[in-house]
Amino acid sequence: MRIAVVGTGYVGLVSGACFANVGHLVTCIDLDESRITDLSNGKVPFFEPGLDAMVAENLGSGRLSFAPDMAQSVANADVVLIAVGTPTRRGDGQAELTYVHAAAKAIAVHIRNFTVVITKSTVPVGTGDEVEQMMRRANPAADFVVVSNPEFLRQGNAIKDFAYPDRIIVGIDDAQAKPVIEQLYAPISEDGNRLVFTGRRSAELTKYAANAFLAMKVSFINEIADLCEKTGADVRDVSLGLGLDPRIGPKFLAPGPGFGGSCFPKDTLALAQTGREFGSPMRLVEATIAINEQRKHAMAQRIIDTCGGDVHGKKIAVLGLTFKPNTDDLRDASSIAIIEALQGVGASIAAYDPQGTRPAQAILHDVEFCADPYAAANNAECLVLVTEWDIFRSLDFNRIHASMTSPRVVDLRNIFDPSVLQSLGFRYRGLGLPEIKYQPGFEVTE
């Protein structure tokens, strides 16, 4: 099949490369000409494991190409994917649809034959109807249907998620689209058994409901972790026990410094706003957002408390800046709020991240970006683990202990073994752990 993908951001580029990889002929379009030049030379503008190689291979085979202009590829396409950004709109938190609308109108003008237009971008319920009307107005003669096919890829795991999806949700209000979608996904859908056809509005809402539910699990376990600390329970045991119930499931029950990234923060805000617009309040989602906001500040306060209540003039080492491992994305990363809060009370920050340093330099100010975790820890009063990159699991803590002015570790992902660190002489603080049990030599700070 011939596919045109409008937008070469994360979703557009990953989808385009993956569809080419399973045999379709894909052209990815972006107005940013320098991005198109880079991509045509195999230069991927962000870090996603395996994507560079996949883009290079499919460029080489001729199945994948890039263009700054959509006219030709849309005219020739069987399927057009809209994969442009839907950032948070200022003021009300709803998703900003300017780019989706602009793309839809431009596509309509260039359509020649029957075309299935798929909205991959995360858009509020009802957007498919809007897009369809706009396209009909822009080109009344065009023969097309608009389908909602939301993306469930996780950053850092996107290529695997594309090849082995749990489900492929397709919202269609016009049966003409069904055989086209079946053909599009035939190489990966195992005789269609992962394809779930729904109405268009249901598909749009499913995406938000899925992300909000996962975000809610994270906020829930973060509050349970706090309660564990107050009551002497251990969140690791509680998560395990909870997750063994198949109705709950073991995933997204790891406490942390709050969820971040390009989806959960934006999509929870947008869903809450949709609830307000339709007079159907999303109270659990509102609480999820509030808990997450508060979480970042509580984490900064936890670091300050661990340092004896004052970090003024002290050096704090931060390991991990991205919102999760295996990405270079810092969008809405908790590290930003935590670092800025610590700087606000006079701490100096040294940080290390395996992939996030360059984007972090554009966001964070007055941070010493280090070449490795040991340089960050050198002369620090406290080492804070924010993002659980694998390389942090095998740190030489003897070396770190010798180089710190005060051997304290605040582990915001519970990846270190408290008893090992404590036996090395660290003051260790994790999340949701019973301090008394693990730290008999230290007074409880709260």
By CB under 6 A, how many residues form the interface with ligand UDX? 19
Is 285 a binding residue for ligand UDX by CB under 6 A? The answer is: no
Is 214 a binding residue for ligand UDX by CB under 6 A? The answer is: yes
Q: Which residues have a Cβ under 8 Å from the Cβ of 388 and sit 6 or more positions away?
A: 320, 324, 325, 413, 415
Is 46 a binding residue for ligand UDX by CB under 6 A? The answer is: no
Is 119 a binding residue for ligand UDX by CB under 6 A? The answer is: no
Among 30, 132, 151, 381, binds ligand UDX (CB under 6 A): 151
Is 264 a binding residue for ligand UDX by CB under 6 A? The answer is: yes
Is 253 a binding residue for ligand UDX by CB under 6 A? The answer is: yes
Is 154 a binding residue for ligand UDX by CB under 6 A? The answer is: yes
Is 225 a binding residue for ligand UDX by CB under 6 A? The answer is: no
**Nearest in space to 117 (alpha carbons), one of 42, 159, 177:** 177
Is 261 a binding residue for ligand UDX by CB under 6 A? The answer is: yes
Q: Which is nearer to ligand UDX, 334 or 343 (CB)?
A: 334
Q: Which residue has the tokens 């063994």?
A: 244
Among 38, 105, 109, 152, binds ligand UDX (CB under 6 A): 152
Q: How far is the CB of 51 from ligand UDX (least distance, A)?
A: 14
Check if the beta carbon of residue 81 is closer than 8 Å to that of residue 5: yes
Is 254 a binding residue for ligand UDX by CB under 6 A? The answer is: yes
Is 260 a binding residue for ligand UDX by CB under 6 A? The answer is: yes
Cα–Cα distance measured from residue 49 to residue 300, given in angstroms and rounded to the nearest whole number: 31
**Rama region for 284: left / alpha / beta (φ>0; ψ in -120 to 50; rest):** alpha
Among 218, 317, 350, 376, binds ligand UDX (CB under 6 A): 218
Bridging pattern class, strands 367-369 and 408-411? unpaired
263 is catalytic: yes
Q: Which residues have a Cβ under 8 Å from the Cβ of 283 and sit 6 or more positions away?
A: none
Q: Give the active site residue among 263, 307, 370, 382.
A: 263
Is 353 a binding residue for ligand UDX by CB under 6 A? The answer is: no
Cα–Cα distance measured from residue 6 to residue 330, given in angstroms and rounded to the nearest whole number: 24
Q: Which is nearer to ligand UDX, 46 or 252 (CB)?
A: 252
The CA distances from residue 319 to 54, 294, 309, 373, in Å, are: 30, 21, 21, 7
Burial 101-135 (b: 16+ CB within 10 A, else e): bebbebbbebbeeebbbbbbbbbbbebbebbbebb
Among 47, 144, 197, 259, binds ligand UDX (CB under 6 A): 259
Among 144, 162, 323, 416, binds ligand UDX (CB under 6 A): 323
Q: How far is the CB of 11 from ligand UDX (least distance, A)?
A: 8
Residue 295, Cβ density class (10 Å: 0-12 exposed, 13-18 middle, ≥19 buried): buried
Cα–Cα distance measured from residue 434 to residue 446, given in angstroms and rounded to the nearest whole number: 12
Q: How far is the CB of 261 from ligand UDX (least distance, A)?
A: 3
Among 145, 263, 304, 317, binds ligand UDX (CB under 6 A): 263
Is 10 a binding residue for ligand UDX by CB under 6 A? The answer is: no
Longest alpha-carbon distance in the chain: 78
Cα–Cα distance measured from residue 151 to residue 121, given in angstroms and rounded to the nearest whole number: 7
Catalytic amino acids? 263
Binding site for ligand UDX (CB under 6 A): 151-155, 211, 214, 218, 252-254, 256, 259-261, 263-264, 323-324
